[in-house]
Amino acid sequence: MSLRIGIVGGTGNVGRKILQVLTEQSVDIHSLRLFASKKSEGEKIPFQDREITVERLTEEVMKEDFDYLLFSAGGEVSKHFAPIAVKAGNTVIDNSSQWRMTEGIPLVVPEINGDILKGYQGIVANPNCSTIQMVAALSPLDKVYGLTKINVSTYQAVSGSGMAGIQELQEQLADPDREPRTYPKTIAGNCIPHIDVFYDNGYTKEELKMVYETQKILNKPRLPVQVTTVRVPVINGHSEAIYAEFEKAPDLQEVRDIFGKSRGLVVMDNPEDLVYPTVFDANDRDEVFIGRIRKDLFDPKGLALWVVADNLRKGAATNAVGILTHMEKLKTRK
C-alpha cells in the first residue's frame, strides 16, 4: 500500500534524516509533504529525484488525510497540533518528549514492544535517543536473565541539541573565547554534566526521561535506574557506560551470543586487538554497537557494557520510521 506521509519539522536535522531513512528502507510512498514554521515556508528540500516545497504548519493541514504524520518539531508544537491530527483520523509518530509518559499513549521501540501497536490509531511516542540505545542492548538480556537494576552514564553528542549545538561547538573550536549560548558552559574541550533543566531532587530532566521511559518500555515500573547524562564535544553519536544487575548471573559467551542473534545489535568486543565501538563506527548507521562486555569484579550478577549509537538515526529517525513500517506489518497479520 502506498502511504500518504507528512513530516512536521521537515527542515530540521531529524526531519532530514527521516527523509534519508525513508529512501533507504524503500518505504512505498504515495505522497510526501513537509511542514514547518512560517520562516521555512517555501524552502525546497531534496528528496530522491525531486524537491519538496515546505508548507507552513497550520491546524487546517493537520485535518487532512494522512496515513502517518511524523512529528519532529518540539513538545509545544506536538502538544498543539498532534491532537488535531489524531481527531481527524491520522496516526501521529511523535519524536518529542510531550507524550512519552502520558497514560494510554504507547512508547515504542519496535523490536522490543512494537506489538502493542496492533490495531492502534492515535499518537505513538518515540523515546529519548539515549533511552532507545540502552533498552535495545538490555532488553534481550532481560528476557534471559531478568533485569533488576541499571546504572548508566551517558556521553551525548552536540547534534542532540540540533544545529545550534553543532554550530556552537564548531565556533568554540575555532575561537575558544566564544561565549556559550546553547549550553551553560563552554562545550569545546569540555564535558558538561548537565542536559536539560535541573529538578529539586538534583537530577536533570534528561536523566529522569531515561529513568521513566526505560521502566515504561520494558514494562518494569519499579526497576531501579540510576542515570548521569553528560554533554561531550562530539558532533554526532551518543555513548553510554552501562552497568546492569540481573536475577541470574550472566554468562559472557552466552551474552555475546544473545547480542549476535538480536536484530539491530552489533558486537565489537575484542580488547586484545583494541576492538570496541566508538561514535565513528556508529555514524550514519542504524545498529546499536556494543563492546567492553565484562562481569562485575565482585558481584556475579553484574555486567558492564559500552554502548554506542547514532542519536539522529537509531535515536530518532530510524526508530520513528521503524514504528511506521512495523504498524504496516501488523496490519497484514491475521
Q: Please say if 191 is a catalytic residue.
A: no
Taking a C-beta distance cutoff of 8 angstroms, is the pair 136, 264 a contact?
yes
- Active-site residue identified among 80, 129, 191, 326: 129
Cα(237)–Cα(329) distance, integer angstroms = 29
Q: What is the DSSP letter of 39?
A: G
Separation CA 130–CA 317 (nearest Å): 13
In whole angstroms, give the CA distance from residue 9 to residue 40. Answer: 10
Q: Map residue 215 onto helix, strand or coil.
A: helix
| Residues 64 and 54 sit within 8 Å (Cβ to Cβ) | no
Q: Are strands 29-36 and 50-53 parallel, antiparallel or unpaired?
A: unpaired
Retrieve residue 137's grid coordinates.
542492548
Torsion angle defined by CA atoms of residues 26, 317, 105 and 229, in that order, rounded to the nearest 10 degrees = 160
Handedness of CA 210, 215, 221, 222 (dihedral sign): negative
Q: What residues are annotated to the active site?
A: 129, 238
